[in-house]
Amino acid sequence: MAEPKSYRNFIDGEWVEASSRGALEDRSPADKGEVIGTFQDSGEADADAAIAAAARAFRRWRLVPAPKRAEYLFRMGEILLKRKEEYAREMTREMGKPIREARGDVQEAIDVCYHLAGEGRRLHGHTTPSELPNKACFSVRAPIGVCGLITPWNFPMAIPSWKLIPALVCGNAVVLKPASDAPLSSYHLVKICQEVGIPRGVVNYVTGSGAAVGGRLTAHPEVRLISFTGSSEVGRLVNLACADTFKRASLEMGGKNAMIVMDDARLDLAVDGAVWGAFATAGQRCTATSRIIVHKKVLKDFVDRLVERAGGLKIGDPLQESVDLGPLVNEAQLKKVMDYVQIGRDEGADPVLGGVRLTKAEYGRGFFFPPTIFTGVTPEMRIAREEIFGPVVCVLAADGLDDALAIANDTLYGLSSSIYTQDVNRAFTAARDLETGITYVNASTIGAETHLPFGGVKRTGNGHREGAAHTALDIFTEWKTVYVDYSGKLQKAQIDNG
Ligand code: NAP
């Protein structure tokens, strides 16, 4: 096995060691003996240096015309496209998602580059007539300043790109702090920023613990925006810290996503969607299907088919093309999933598939857990209410659409939802009444496209939406209103127009 590479922080255009000189190990979750690389275990001083570099660079970058800023981003997309396979393989090694899904993760970053770079030639503002003669009024999007980007491990290239690319096209400078479980994918993204020649200091990359580096970014007065994706627990802390210095905080957090299967649904389609939604990325997606609410009339048939299909999923080395389910990201995540399975049993739910850690020789070196299906779940059980973030899905019974909607909405979260039905009236009612930021009809809860608004309500989000250009730009710009009075005299709005 090759000696693991040592990766540095990127601050002010230089690859530098952290002042502490400590190291974080990035290990493969499929084989905990394999060290993918070592990363800097940075502290507050490193975050401060990155913030200072970004603040200096921002003064110049904001004045680069947006179409020119966008040219760097188009080139990033081209490089990502060329290296898609290499980066996908490294992603699978570092966080365990099956290789086909890792390719999709890199593809998301490519899509974001092309889509958002196009905004360099738009970044539209508004014009409107003045109420006074010889006066012009318009509003433009202005960059915010230094943005702190804090990202999770489950989409280690896609999510950083959802933040980095719009931040840059809008003229901001950034400090990116990736999740400690998957820093390599965002390292590649930052390396490409350097390769395409984005000026020094505009993009900075600091690895290290959430408390030290993330905490410093959220507290530092020169950081004007935090764009955070992660758990609701940490998001709450980030929000509180941002309030102290009056920062904008864009928070994308946890989910407990429900799929409704009505009695008129095409069950084959619903089972396909359920298997994909519950077990892709081993259930470690914010939009994962974690509750399936099934009409009583089709409950048994649906569960029988679901168990058969999920039981046939291939578990193993996520680099193999045929593997459907890789490992969980780390030991703590595995323990959390096992704890929840025990909680479900204690609550009286019935694990009709899975539920026991895999122990065969080929799984022993990684954090593998099989697809697990609980039936007999009722809405008040903890397994039906709390985010598990693993390959565990709860099946609940409903009497009809109203009951199913009530169960689906009885949650603190509100990211994604879906309904399977052939009845257009039921489909539109559900699309209107499901309390989530995203709803699918006859499709799974996962599968967002990058050019539509992405985010959730309740404890999932605080009102911002990444993705679509118009909503992403709202996160990374301030509106600036300009009045130009060419009347040559003092004119008073609301007073001189009577
Ligand atoms: P997490 O533990 O909340 O960590 C997210 C990021 O925050 C990491 O970079 C982490 O650093 C950092 N962090 C930890 N403590 C911090 C603090 N006190 N101040 C500032 N930053 C801090 O989440 P995760 O385990 O990486 O990701 C899984 C969670 O993300 C799930 O809840 C999932 O639903 C959610 N998620 C949501 C979306 C969405 O769009 N809604 C998308 C993907 C994932 P370290 O890694 O160093 O701890």
Domain holding 52, by residue range, is 9-253+461-481
Does one domain contain both 278 and 155?
A: no
Q: Is 286 a catalytic residue?
A: yes
Does one domain contain both 223 and 167?
A: yes
Tokens of 398: 């409903």
Give the position, in ligand 1's atom list, of the atom nearest the Cα of 231.
Answer: 32
In-domain check, residue 290: yes
Residue 65 makes CB contacts below 8 A (sequence gap 6+) with: none
Give the position, in ligand 1's atom list, of the atom nearest the Cα of 155.
Answer: 43
In-domain check, residue 4: no
Nearest CA to ligand 1 atom 22: 210
Nearest CA to ligand 1 atom 8: 179
Q: Distance of alpha carbon 329 from its chain centroid, rounded?
A: 16
Q: For residue 72, how far is its CA from the centre of ligand 1 (angstroms)? A: 28
Pocket test for ligand 1, best of 101, 161, 286 (most atoms within 8 A of CB): 286
The segments of the chain whose pLDDT lies below 70 read 1-2, 497-498
Does one domain contain both 247 and 266?
A: no
Distance CA 460, CA 254 (A): 5
Q: Is 17 a catalytic residue?
A: no
Q: For residue 18, how far is its CA from the centre of ligand 1 (angstroms)? A: 22
Does one domain contain both 236 and 322?
A: no
In-domain check, residue 306: yes
Quick check: pTM over 0.75?
yes
Does one domain contain both 159 and 283?
A: no
Distance CA 118, CA 439 (A): 27
In-domain check, residue 453: no
User: Residue 488, class by beta-carbon neighbours within 10 Å (0-12 exposed, 13-18 middle, 19+ buried)?
Assistant: exposed
What angle (nearest 5°) sits at the alpha carbon of residue 84, between those of residues 78 and 88? 150
Residue 372 makes CB contacts below 8 A (sequence gap 6+) with: 341, 351, 353, 354, 355, 390, 391, 392, 393
Look up the CATH number of the domain holding residue 103.
3.40.605.10
Nearest to 476 by CA among 120, 227, 125: 227
Pocket test for ligand 1, best of 154, 412, 466 (most atoms within 8 A of CB): 154
Does one domain contain both 166 and 234?
A: yes
Does one domain contain both 262 and 169?
A: no
Measuring CA to CA, how many Å separate 52 from each of 6, 8, 11, 223?
A: 25, 18, 9, 10
pLDDT tens-digit series, residues 16-48: 999 987 899 999 999 988 999 999 999 999 999
In-domain check, residue 174: yes
Look up the CATH number of the domain holding residue 404.
3.40.309.10
The one catalytic residue among 286, 387, 394, 466: 286
Residue 98 makes CB contacts below 8 A (sequence gap 6+) with: 92, 281, 318, 323, 324, 325, 326
Tokens of 393: 């899905």
Ligand 1: lining residues by beta carbon, under 6 Å? 150-155, 177, 179-181, 209-211, 214-215, 218, 229-231, 234, 237-238, 252-255, 286, 387, 389, 415, 456, 460
Does one domain contain both 429 and 383?
A: yes
In-domain check, residue 449: no
Nearest CA to ligand 1 atom 48: 210
Q: For residue 289, how far is its CA from the centre of ligand 1 (angstroms)? A: 19
Nearest CA to ligand 1 atom 39: 252
Give the position, in ligand 1's atom list, of the atom nearest the Cα of 178.
Answer: 9
In-domain check, residue 448: no
Q: How many structural domains is the chain composed of?
A: 2
Residue 263 makes CB contacts below 8 A (sequence gap 6+) with: 295, 297, 298
* Contact in structure between 149 and 167 (CB atoms under 8 Å): yes
Does one domain contain both 233 and 273?
A: no
Q: For residue 71, how far is its CA from the centre of ligand 1 (angstroms)? A: 31
The one catalytic residue among 252, 387, 394, 466: 252
Does one domain contain both 268 and 135?
A: no
Give the position, in ligand 1's atom list, of the atom nearest the Cα of 208.
Answer: 47
Sheet holding 126-129, edge to edge: 126-129, 135-143, 477-485
Does one domain contain both 266 and 310?
A: yes
In-domain check, residue 1: no
Tokens of 261: 């299967």
Does one domain contain both 249 and 263?
A: no
Q: For residue 233, how far is its CA from the centre of ligand 1 (angstroms)? A: 9
The residue type at 250 = S
Q: For residue 424, how far is its CA from the centre of ligand 1 (angstroms)? A: 38
Pocket test for ligand 1, best of 226, 234, 438 (most atoms within 8 A of CB): 234
Q: For residue 396, how far is its CA from the centre of ligand 1 (angstroms)? A: 28
